[in-house]
Amino acid sequence: MTETNDSGSNGISIAALAAIGADRANRVRSLIRAVPGFPHEPIVFQDITPLLADGAAFRDVIEAFALLCEQPGGPKVDVVAGIEARGFVLGAPLAIRLGVGFVPLRKAGKLPPPVTHVEYQLEYGSAAMEITDGTIKPGASVLVIDDVLATGGTALAAASLVEKAGASVAALMFLLDLSDLGGMARLGKYRAEALLRFP
């Protein structure tokens, strides 16, 4: 992963996003809005909505993800799996860019049967995630994508779901890694990349 210590005024370093060039990467970074106290104190929510609303910046984000896949030694990707909900927003255009299919990983009860199901723990309780049976072929190499990596629990559940489908996890990729929460360390057995890092 390409690293940079240029964190700017919002405390976000451009990390692997630097692959598209510092000027473009810094513009993307500038479109992430910090919202203190949302949804409650002491959280500082990192809002990517302004980034998604900017066509050029959104395109640059998708290109940066694609470059991570296409670099020498990058992960082989047969299908992109997006975690509900912003993983859908990032994953679908990335799948088109890579010329592969897209599969949604959804909250329990959102997909018609038959589904494969995995339960996991969150800081405030438990949750479940599902995938439609047969949408990921056994032996496929799957890129899992989401917007933010926090503690890593949801990402680990997504990886488990892919493996229960008989496929392998090529990599897990995120727009923003909240590095203080230790998610990358929890994903240690997998290849994991983030375009941006906070702090």
Instruction: Give the residue numbers marked as catalytic.
Output: 86, 123
- How many angstroms separate the CA atoms of 17 and 105, rounded? 25
Angle at 172 between CA 123 and CA 29, to 5 degrees: 85
Burial classification of residue 171, based on how many CB atoms lie within 10 Å of its CB (0-12 exposed, 13-18 middle, 19 or more buried): buried
Tell me which residue of 88, 98, 89, 85 sits closest to 170, measured CA to CA. 98
For residue 85, give both structure tokens: 């909900």
Dihedral sign computed on CA atoms, order 156, 59, 39, 104: negative
